Chain A
């Protein structure tokens, strides 16, 4: 029995295999409609995240399975003071697989140590969100046809943005990757990632505050939202939240085949007038999220 807590626990072969299964699901959805018949997914969301929860639920329904769970801690036994481990043990008796989101870092790991069914980390605070990373990788693969030899720009909150950290870690395992890190000074990528990962692996990266200046180099532009919930200080949040807003004008010098990604939800960092640009991939990315979660559920349930 295996869980997915951290994207780095998957080998690149396993990631490639998940992407291949997801692409097969996209090509032949009818072959997968009954794969999880009579199986149940529990979505235990101790903090609200409509997008991720619905993506997991849609994935399970499309595999012919069913879904139970809760969408906020107030409607769960956690409100009565039950531990994460006890919740995981209990729900293991009802469901075949669990997707868990929790505001505290490490909660899904605690659950996986106690549960008797696979646990999928659906986001633990600012820490890990492996299915978002898998979604991003599938999107890059589908948009560019490859996961190597790419110049990938990350823009916005690179300090607290967990999706950025995980995607950098995952892409670092592919060859020919170069990163362009675009952020205000206060929201730069943490130095441990630069020193312990990029420098150790000899991966090229540049840091800049100028989005338009680096735009022509990019194959991928990964935009992020400055998240209010990651700040202890409201003042800092208000000062930094509008640092970068992507508009059609800023894309004038971009490559024809640039792919613009965003983990969503966006606030105002991508102007809605960009949505009609064929290079805007973020809604296709949402759809890819459902397909990669279907592939992951199949893998963890060992359904052939």
Chain B
């Protein structure tokens, strides 16, 4: 299978096999007008199989969202068909409006305008908790 290389854009690499649609949805890539390629189950020396997303447009990728989904993902910025930057991800200390609090007793369920903010409370177990009610993010 042949997929064109991109001239100016972003390649999101080392996505765990099967997780690309989750990344696509979190980053709201459906709202883009440019070409977006989702490549699933690519052979990888490091991972066995992986997914890749190619975005044929210069855009600011929300690194916090990606770091939350999987900090092992890499983000490559392409300019004039040359890889000019490789961004490493870390677990963000806080995420805003990425996931919603599921606790029916949380204030966010009645006050719709409040941002859904989760804080990293345990990096080892990648645990995020709602800042309002401390419920774990799921």
Contacts and interface: CB of A to CB of B under 8 A. Distances in A.
A84 B109 CA distance: 13
A83 interface: yes
B133 A127 contact: yes
Nearest to B106: A105
A139 B104 CA distance: 34
Contacts of A127: 105, 133-134
A35 B40 CA distance: 69
Given A83-B113, A105-B133, A110 B105 contact: no
Contacts of B114: 110
A109 B105 contact: no
A104 interface: yes
A293 interface: no
Interface string B107-138: 11111011000000010000000111110000
A109 B122 CA distance: 21
Nearest to A104: B107
A104 B132 CA distance: 9
A269 to B, nearest CB: 24
Given A125-B105, A126-B105, A106 B130 contact: yes
A126 B105 CA distance: 8
Q: Is the interface of B mostly helix, strand, loop or mixed?
A: loop
Contacts of B109: 104
Contacts of B122: 196
Interface centre among A102, A103, A106, A127 (most CB of B within 10 A): A106
Nearest to A105: B133
A109 B113 contact: no
A120 interface: no
Contacts, number: 43
A103 B114 CA distance: 17
B107 A107 contact: yes
Contacts of A105: 103, 105-107, 132-134
Interface of B: 103, 105-111, 113-114, 122, 130-134
Given A109-B131, A109-B132, A102 B105 contact: no
A85 B122 CA distance: 29
Contacts of B106: 104-106
Contacts of B107: 84, 102, 104-107, 109-110, 124
Contacts of B103: 105
Given A83-B113, A107-B107, 6 more contacts: A83-B111, A103-B105, A104-B107, A105-B134, A106-B130, A106-B131
Nearest to B104: A232
B101 to A, nearest CB: 9
Interface string A73-89: 00000000001110000
Nearest to A78: B110
5 contacts: A85-B111, A103-B105, A106-B108, A110-B107, A127-B105
Nearest to A127: B133
Given A125-B105, A126-B105, A104 B130 contact: no
A106 B113 contact: no
A84 B111 CA distance: 8
A209 B64 CA distance: 46
Nearest to B130: A106
Interface string A117-145: 00000001111000000000000000000
B128 to A, nearest CB: 14
A4 to B, nearest CB: 16
B123 to A, nearest CB: 14
9 closest Cβ pairs, A-B complex: A106-B132, A105-B133, A104-B107, A106-B107, A107-B107, A106-B133, A125-B105, A105-B105, A105-B106
A132 B114 CA distance: 28
Nearest to A110: B107
Nearest to B127: A196
